């Protein structure tokens, strides 16, 4: 069977199931970041790698600095999902020999701009030639206090579900210049018991079922409540993907205070979109046509 037929998600699952387990690994393949034993007390080491490929994630006409920003920001968004602090990045750059040095310089400007915004040091990397399309892979390490780490799996039935920002329309506007919600995520876990969190990279229709399933819960979403980007339908908000906003679950008695102090602190929107339920009991209200992942 070839990879096209097998599918990336199934392939990753299959591969992950074959890898040796290790007591130093608290979360591994399939989660936002790997969560790992660190030498210091009270901290986890977080690792994440991500890549963008020309012809898949960007085109030959995409501004190189925006490619660089996106390549770095995608990994940083996974740190936001776990309320982690990114610290160090390695860049792997695979480019055809005929590519102009100005393109590489632009790419690094974008990488460095995203890194600097979140106090990440670019500490090395590797370059290689290729006969094919350009590839930029970014690996980031960082850390999170053990008591502030948020996984996808801690949601409880009746938890309220919130999303930051507005959903949909990313391809037209935002997928090349989104802001990873690291500051917001760190603020949240400093003040509230966030039960479960994920960043919306594949769209609410794919990522909410992931969070619910990891938490052993079902979910109910009020479609009319979804915060839509300008010009977007409910369907766009559910399935466009690449929002890189946060979706999280908190106990319902935290919600009033959370909504109040959020408004005082942040200009981006925070919206209660529904709640987790007992698994199997509630109607899954996301139109199934928009859910890529079952």
- Tell which positions 21-80 bind a second copy, by CB under 8 A: 22, 24-25, 28-31, 33-34, 36, 38-41, 43, 45, 47-53, 55-57
Report the C-alpha gap between 47 and 43 in whole angstroms: 13
Identify which of residues 120 and 250 has a Cβ nearer to a second copy in the complex. 120
Report the C-alpha gap between 24 and 45 in whole angstroms: 10
- Longest Cα–Cα distance of the chain, Å, equals 59
The conformation of residue 173, written as its DSSP 8-state character, comes to I
C-alpha closest to that of 200 among 286, 74, 111, 287: 74
Within 133-172, which residues bind a second copy (CB under 8 A)? 133, 135, 137, 139, 141, 143
Query: Nearest approach, Cβ of 198 to a second copy (angstroms)?
Result: 15
The conformation of residue 168, written as its DSSP 8-state character, comes to S
Identify which of residues 121 and 257 has a Cβ nearer to a second copy in the complex. 121
Position 8 contacts a second copy (CB under 8 A): yes
Identify which of residues 116 and 285 has a Cβ nearer to a second copy in the complex. 116
Question: Going residue by residue from 84 to 123, which x/- string records binding to a second copy, judged by CB under 8 A?
Answer: ---xx-xxx-xxxxxxxx--x---x---x--xx----xxx
C-alpha closest to that of 40 among 113, 143, 160, 154: 143
Query: Nearest approach, Cβ of 32 to a second copy (angstroms)?
Result: 9
Angle 45-51-54 from CA coordinates, rounded to 5°: 170
Total of chain residues touching a second copy, rule CB under 8 A: 74
Query: Nearest approach, Cβ of 180 to a second copy (angstroms)?
Result: 16
The conformation of residue 118, written as its DSSP 8-state character, comes to T
């Amino acid at each position: 069977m070839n990879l096209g037929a097998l599918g990336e998600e199934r392939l990753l699952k299959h591969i992950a199931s074959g890898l040796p387990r290790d007591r130093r690994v608290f979360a591994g393949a399939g989660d936002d970041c790997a969560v790992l034993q660190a030498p210091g007390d009270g901290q986890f080491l977080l690792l994440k790698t991500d890549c963008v490929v020309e012809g898949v994630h960007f085109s030959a006409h995409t501004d190189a600095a925006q490619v660089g920003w996106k390549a770095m920001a995608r990994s940083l968004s996974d740190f936001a999902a776990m309320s982690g602090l990114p610290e160090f990045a390695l860049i792997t750059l695979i480019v055809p020999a005929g590519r102009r040095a100005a393109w590489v310089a632009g790419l690094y400007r974008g990488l460095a701009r995203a890194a600097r915004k979140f106090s990440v040091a670019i500490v090395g990397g590797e370059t290689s030639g290729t006969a094919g399309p350009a590839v930029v892979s970014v690996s980031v390490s960082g850390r999170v206090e053990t008591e502030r780490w948020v996984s996808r799996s801690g949601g409880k039935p009746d938890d309220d579900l919130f999303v930051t920002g507005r959903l949909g329309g990313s391809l037209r506007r935002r997928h090349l210049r989104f802001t990873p919600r690291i500051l917001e995520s760190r603020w949240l876990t400093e003040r509230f018991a966030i039960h479960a969190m994920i960043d919306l990279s594949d769209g609410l229709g794919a990522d909410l079922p992931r969070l619910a399933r990891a938490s052993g819960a079902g979910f109910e979403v009020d479609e009319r409540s979804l915060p839509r980007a300008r010009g977007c339908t409910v369907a766009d908000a559910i399935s466009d993907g690449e929002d890189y906003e946060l979706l999280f679950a908190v106990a319902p008695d935290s919600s009033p205070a959370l909504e109040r102090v959020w408004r005082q602190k942040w200009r981006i929107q925070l919206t209660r979109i529904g709640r987790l339920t007992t698994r199997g009991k509630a109607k899954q209200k996301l139109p199934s046509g928009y859910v890529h992942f079952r």
